């Protein structure tokens, strides 16, 4: 796990640009930081450079310095800067050795590099894992950016006037951007208000894009043009699912650093822990977020699960007050990102990294088996299909209920309206906050290119394109990597996923959800996990807003109005805040969303003032 960045500029830049980009990644890779810089002819760079590959390393496999990055092949004409983990590659490495390829490290980085050198971009079909890969091929004068199939690892880029920059985070690319190309994106702000985050391919910056999961981007060093393509289309591949799940879990326990498990009282992490116990990995410590005194506290049941399975468990109390760390958390979230559970995850990761450097987590189970309540709710109106009433008006207001809420949904097709089941501000609230904005799309979600075989499958495909990679997995990546902790998600193994696609719907999609997985955790049958109420991962949001963060409401509207150049109306923010304080507590998550936007834009505005020396 690491942070990566780099650039290819037609004009020489001060080397300090590369240093500032690398500095933005240090928390992601605390063990080693390196840069390789070139001049216009790809000779060694001096004080001014045209190109650079940058890497901040969290050492997990083969922690020796010879496995550091950026890494070159034996002839120095192919370079890699890579973030992630590739699993189960020994068989492919044996195939390469049979062709005369030599390895000098035990790292998956060198395998990825040599696999590309031998098989070209088709090597992607042999990768199993999570990755954001940057490969510079000086033989062919081209550069590749590649994001893993499910989107566990992030990568953003900027392509301006034939210049390309990329990085694991928006903040790592920002130092490269010219001063006049650092504006906030109006669409990005609106998308954040709509979804609590900015969905790919957008970001909060006008000239920075996010590479979608399962895609690669190719940059031609001669023409300076880019080409982007989806390289993975999941297909059903029948297999015995339990052995394949055990394999997916087992290969993710390979590490040269201590390994543990995030354990809640829910089904997904319990399945991971159960299978680890079953295959003999009982020495692994489990970590649970605890909310003392709250009805949402899962630590007692998680402790019971761990005891039954013979796994040690550590409960991590989540603080009742977060104001002291609020600015640091927002910085670690990179750009505006408003999942309330992100903050408990950040605290859980901070404590966990004191004990282990790798954790297995249950991310992805709800997206694989339809575990969210919003899915059932939306399926009730599946009869609508493509039917929509685009002529219906959008009524602006601080609270959207009844007919006003229905009209927003009916303006969209049934599939498009699914995005409203998990949203930040409704279209009417967005119009209320941004009265002068030209009407934008109702949703910024992407929709699958291929038609699903059933309504349920269609909704899960939409989640896999949007909510899973850009919300669930982005949170997991940012909150763990902020503390130099690697999180692995066995349930999102692409071979296991494709095996599930071959399972009949009546077996895979049950009510209550996930009964399909019951054989995977039979040791926990006495706890009746599959019939208990889903709790979620909910922090004490009311206390945070009404006490701990209350002072941040003062002047909130004026600050947001200024930061967005008037796109968000100050008076509207003030009215919404007053509405919340008058007792409309259902607005709590939306108020947190505005507080996060305020602090994130403040930090990014400060960084935008640090221009590159062109």
279-322 per-position pLDDT tens digit: 988 889 999 999 887 777 889 999 999 999 999 999 999 998 89
Spatial CB neighbours of 27, under 8 Å, sequence gap ≥ 6? 3, 332, 481, 482, 483, 484
In a domain, 299, yes or no: yes
Domain boundary residue among 230, 257, 285? Answer: 230
Contacts of 465 (CB under 8 A, 6+ apart): 212, 213, 445, 446, 447, 448
Question: How many percent of the chain have pLDDT more than 70?
Answer: 97
pLDDT digits (tens, 9 = 90+) for 585-614: 889 999 999 999 999 999 999 998 754 444
Q: What is the dihedral sign for C-alpha 474, 475, 480, 481?
A: positive
Q: Residues 54, 152: one domain?
A: yes
Whether residue 521 sits in one domain with residue 554: no
Q: Is 391 contained in some domain? A: no
Distance CA 187, CA 201 (A): 11
pLDDT tens digits for range 424-444: 999 989 999 999 876 678 899
Domain count, the chain: 3
Mean pLDDT of the chain: 93
As a whole number of angstroms, the distance between CA 386 and CA 416 comes to 9
Could you read off the pLDDT of 532-584 as tens digits, one per residue? 877 666 788 888 999 999 999 999 999 999 999 999 999 999 999 998 988 88
Same domain, 246 and 291: yes
Residue 293 lies in a domain: yes
Mean pLDDT in residue range 261-274? 95
Helices (H), 62-160: 90-98, 108-119
Partners of residue 83 on adjacent β-strands: 132
How many Å is the Cα radius of gyration of the chain? 24
Provide the strand spans (E) within 104-234.
Answer: 129-137, 142-147, 156-160, 163-167, 209-210, 215-220, 226-230
pLDDT at 70 over 50: yes
Q: Above pLDDT 90, what percent of the chain?
A: 82
Q: Mapping DSSP to helix (H, G, I), strand (E, B) and coil, where does residue 280 land?
A: coil
pLDDT tens figures, 454-492:
999 999 999 999 999 999 999 999 999 999 999 999 999
Answer yes or no: do 56 and 184 share one domain.
Answer: yes
Print the SS3 string covering 559-605. Answer: HHHHHCCCCCCHHHHHHHHHHHHCCCHHHHHHHHHHHHHHHHHHHHH
Q: Which residues contact 386 (CB under 8 A, 6 or more apart)?
A: 413, 414
Residues 225 and 265 in one domain: no
Q: Note the pTM of the prediction, 2 decimals.
A: 0.96
pLDDT of residue 295: 74
Query: Dihedral through CA 58, CA 64, CA 69, CA 74, nearest 10?
Result: -160
**Residue 380 falls inside a structural domain:** no
Long-range contacts of 183-187 (CB under 8 A, 24+ apart): 183/207, 184/563, 184/564, 184/565, 184/601, 184/604, 186/437, 186/564, 186/567, 187/440, 187/444
pLDDT tens-digit map of 72-129: 999 999 999 999 999 999 999 999 999 999 999 999 999 999 999 999 999 999 999 9
- Give residue-wise pLDDT tens across range 178-222: 999 999 999 999 999 999 999 999 999 999 999 999 999 999 999
Within a domain: 339: yes
The structure tokens 């039979």 sit at 522
Assign residue 94 the CATH number of its domain: 3.60.20.10
Q: What is the pLDDT of residue 334?
A: 97
Res 536: pLDDT: 62
**Together in a domain, 268 and 216:** no
Position 464 in a domain: no
d(CA 243, CA 204) in angstroms, rounded, equals 42
Domain final residue pick, 230, 255, 276: 230
Which pLDDT does position 614 carry in this prediction?
40
Say yes or no: 166 and 206 in one domain.
yes
- List CB contacts of 397: < 8 A, sequence separation 6 or more: 404, 428, 429, 432
Strand segments (E) across 306-426: 313-317, 358-360
Inside any domain, residue 594: yes
pLDDT of 441:
86
Rounded to whole angstroms, the Cα distance separating 123 from 140 reads 16
What is the domain extent for residue 601? 541-608
What strands lie across the sheet with 226-230, from one edge to the other?
71-72, 78-86, 129-137, 142-147, 215-220, 226-230
Residues 62 and 189 in one domain: yes
CA 294 to CA 524: how far, in whole Å?
24
Q: In this structure, how many other beta carbons lie within 10 angstroms of the beta carbon of residue 511?
A: 8
| In a shared domain, residues 498 and 591 | no
What integer pLDDT is reported at residue 165 of this predicted model? Answer: 98
DSSP-derived 3-state class of residue 99: coil
Per-residue model confidence (pLDDT) at position 539: 80
User: Which is more confidently placed, 301 or 450?
Assistant: 301
272 and 181 part of one domain? no
Pairing between β-strand 48-57 and β-strand 156-160 as defined by DSSP bridges = unpaired
Q: Is residue 336 part of a domain?
A: yes
Read off the pLDDT of residues 347-402 as tens digits, 9 standing for 90 and up.
Answer: 999 999 999 999 999 999 999 999 998 999 999 989 888 888 877 777 777 876 65
Given 209, 230, 251, which residue is the final one in a domain?
Answer: 230
User: What CATH code is carried by the domain that includes residue 365?
Assistant: 3.40.50.620
Let me know whether 59 and 139 are in one domain: yes
Distance of CA 110 to the CA centre of its chain: 25
- Which residues, at least 6 apart from 68, have a Cβ–Cβ distance to it below 8 Å? 32, 34, 55, 57
Q: Are residues 192 and 258 in the same domain?
A: no
């Amino acid at each position: 796990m690491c942070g990566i960045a780099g650039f290819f500029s037609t004009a020489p830049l001060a080397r300090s640009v590369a240093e500032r980009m690398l500095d933005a990644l240090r928390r992601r890779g605390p063990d080693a930081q390196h840069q390789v810089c070139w001049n216009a002819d790809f000779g060694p760079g001096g004080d001014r450079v045209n190109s650079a590959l940058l890497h901040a390393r969290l050492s997990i496999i083969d922690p020796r310095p010879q496995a550091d990055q950026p890494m070159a092949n034996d002839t120095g004409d192919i370079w890699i800067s890579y973030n992630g983990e590739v699993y189960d590659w020994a068989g492919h490495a044996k195939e390469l050795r049979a062709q005369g390829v030599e390895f000098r490290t035990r790292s998956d980085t060198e395998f990825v590099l040599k696999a590309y050198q031998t098989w070209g971009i088709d090597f992607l079909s042999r990768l199993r894992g999570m990755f954001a890969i940057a490969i510079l091929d000086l033989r062919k004068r081209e550069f590749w950016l590649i994001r893993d199939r499910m989107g566990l690892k992030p990568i953003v880029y900027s392509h301006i006037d034939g210049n390309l920059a990329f990085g694991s985070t928006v903040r790592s690319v920002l130092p490269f951007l010219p001063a006049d190309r650092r504006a906030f994106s109006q669409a990005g702000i609106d998308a954040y208000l709509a979804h609590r985050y900015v969905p790919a391919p957008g970001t909060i910056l006008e000239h920075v894009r996010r590479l979608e999961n399962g895609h690669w981007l190719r940059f031609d060093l001669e023409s300076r043009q880019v080409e982007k393509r989806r390289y993975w289309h999941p297909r059903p591949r029948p297999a015995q699912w339990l052995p394949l799940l055990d394999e997916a879990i087992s290969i993710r326990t390979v590490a040269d650093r201590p390994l543990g498990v995030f354990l809640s009282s829910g089904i997904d992490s319990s399945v991971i822990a159960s299978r680890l116990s079953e295959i003999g990995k009982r020495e692994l410590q489990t970590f649970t977020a605890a909310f003392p005194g709250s009805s949402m506290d899962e630590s007692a049941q998680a402790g019971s699960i761990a005891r039954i399975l013979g796994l040690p468990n550590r409960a991590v109390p989540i603080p009742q007050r977060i104001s002291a760390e609020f600015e640091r958390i927002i910085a670690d979230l990179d750009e505006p990102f408003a999942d309330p559970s992100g903050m408990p995850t950040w605290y859980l990761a901070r404590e966990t990294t004191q004990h282990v450097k790798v954790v297995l987590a249950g991310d992805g189970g709800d997206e694989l088996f339809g575990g969210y309540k919003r899915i059932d709710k939306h399926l009730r109106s599946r009869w609508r299909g493509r039917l929509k009433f685009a002529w219906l008006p959008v009524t602006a207001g601080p609270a959207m209920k009844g007919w006003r809420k229905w009209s927003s949904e009916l303006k969209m097709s049934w599939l498009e309206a699914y995005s409203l089941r998990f949203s930040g501000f409704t279209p009417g609230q967005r119009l209320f906050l941004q009265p002068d904005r030209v009407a934008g799309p109702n949703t910024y979600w992407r929709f699958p290119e291929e038609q699903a075989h059933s309504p349920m499958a269609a909704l899960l495909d939409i989640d896999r394109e949007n909510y899973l990679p850009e919300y669930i997995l982005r949170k997991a990546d940012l909150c763990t990597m902020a503390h130099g902790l690697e999180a692995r998600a066995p349930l999102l193994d692409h071979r296991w996923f494709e095996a599930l696609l071959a399972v009949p719907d009546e077996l895979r999609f049950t009510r209550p959800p996930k009964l399909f997985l019951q054989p995977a955790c039979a040791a926990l049958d006495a706890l009746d996990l599959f019939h208990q109420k889903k709790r979620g991962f909910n922090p004490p949001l009311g206390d945070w807003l009404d006490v701990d963060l209350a002072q941040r409401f003062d002047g909130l509207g004026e600050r947001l109005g200024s930061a967005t150049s008037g796109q968000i109306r100050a008076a509207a923010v003030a009215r919404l805040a007053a509405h919340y304080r008058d007792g409309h507590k259902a607005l709590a998550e939306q108020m947190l969303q505005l507080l996060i936007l305020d602090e994130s834009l403040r930090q990014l505005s400060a960084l935008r003032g640090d221009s590159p020396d062109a």
